[in-house]
A and B are shown apart, each in its own frame.
Chain A
Amino acid sequence: MPLTFPKEEYMQKGHSACAGCGATLSMRYVLKALGPKSVVSVPASCWAVIPGEFPYTSLNIPMLYTTFASSGASISGLREGLDSQGKEDYNVVAFAGDGGTADIGLQGLSAAMERGHNVLYVMYDNEAYMNTGIQRSGSTPYGAWTTTTPVGIKRDYKKSNKKFVADLMIAQNVPYVATATIGFPEDLERKVATAKLIKGPKFIQILSPCPPGWYYNSSDTIKISRLAVEANVFPLYEYRNGKLTVYKPAKTVPLRDYLSLQGRFGHLNDVEIGEIERALEERWQYLLRREKD
């Protein structure tokens, strides 16, 4: 059977990610689509730990560690440096988590996109600060348990909605914005390959389930990321040349199917699930309206 995928691996075995990690699959797929002429910049995040302790590395391409807030600035500098050496065929990629993108790195990201460097910014969204122990981030969805929103008897779960950074990037009119997830790897590969061909700033948000942080069985990583799209929790879309294209899932599933697999939503009652469902439906209708204009 012909493979639906490039066979070359740029991520090695033996890395230090947890079993069933979604973020490693994101990196693996992104690098497969980009090829060997790439440079990755990683701020503080799970991916700062996954390559292994010094002097080990699990990537076959150069990778630069940077501070939490400066992944956007570092890719700008890498790009200009490579260009001045005539290495314009190299891809410069930032690979940041949701904390380093939605919260701490937002100004750096926004500024890099505004300056218009020819860079790709990949946000792997595991919906909390997983590396430091599951603290809530701006990208954590409504209703989720985290260690800083412990439910307890006060029902103190996260009370605000998820910040969709891809929507912010559309508002900023970045030439190419896409959302993807590891449950649909061919779609992810296509989006990264499309981004590679576009000259200018690009942004891709990849939903990467996290077994310890979301409290589910490590074998369900792919299943959950697929359900996230089918339950409309994480709509897949592409924004290019000012035109938004929303992917309509071939089959839809009730939100409950997605929530019931994860321990972080285990405390929610029917009323609260209904509220989440309503908010997600509103966002879905908003995206469909955006698509029409």
Chain B
Amino acid sequence: MVIVPVAYLPTSSKELSSWRTSRPVIDYSKCTRCAICWKFCPDVAIDLSPDPSLSAPNDRFKALEAPRIDYDHCKGCGICAEECPFDAIAMVEEE
């Protein structure tokens, strides 16, 4: 029996892309798949999945899980671009 209000809808069904003033763009030819951007994302808006079709510094990195930015939920804080040790993420202003 539910006697208190219980939240049941996941916030991942919301779309927050309008919060952003600039968007992070990953340059995969510099990305070593270290996942530091994934680790520090406060919005959990970076997913890790292997994608051999993306470019990489060399073939060894292609097999690894690549970060992908979920632009529906990214708020454009810029932590990923600041923390990337290879400068592979650039912040591009939204129109």
Contacts and interface: CB of A to CB of B under 8 A. Distances in A.
A21 interface: yes
Interface stretch (A6-14, A83-91, A250-258): A6-14
Contacts, number: 108
Given A7-B48, A14-B11, A54-B5, A219 B78 contact: yes
B9 A219 contact: no
A139 interface: no
Given A54-B5, A58-B11, A222 B76 contact: no
Interface residues of B, number: 38
A55 interface: yes
Given A7-B48, A20-B77, A20-B78, A52 B42 contact: no
A51 B14 CA distance: 12
Contacts of A269: none
B42 A20 contact: yes
A211 to B, nearest CB: 8
Interface in A147-165: none
A19 B75 CA distance: 6
Interface string B75-88: 11111011100000
B10 A5 contact: no
Contacts of A14: 10-16, 43, 73
A221 B75 CA distance: 14
B9 A55 contact: yes
B82 to A, nearest CB: 4
A217 B76 CA distance: 11
Interface in A114-164: none
Contacts of B75: 18-20
Interface in A173-228: 185, 211, 217-223
A183 to B, nearest CB: 9
Contacts of A18: 75
A36 to B, nearest CB: 15
A56 B7 contact: yes
A55 B11 contact: no
24 contacts: A1-B64, A9-B44, A11-B44, A13-B11, A13-B43, A13-B45, A14-B11, A15-B11, A19-B19, A19-B43, A19-B77, A25-B42, A51-B7, A56-B11, A56-B14, A57-B8, A58-B12, A185-B39, A217-B78, A218-B79, A219-B79, A219-B81, A222-B40, A223-B82
Interface of B: 5-16, 19-20, 32-35, 39-40, 42-45, 48, 64, 70, 72-73, 75-79, 81-83, 91
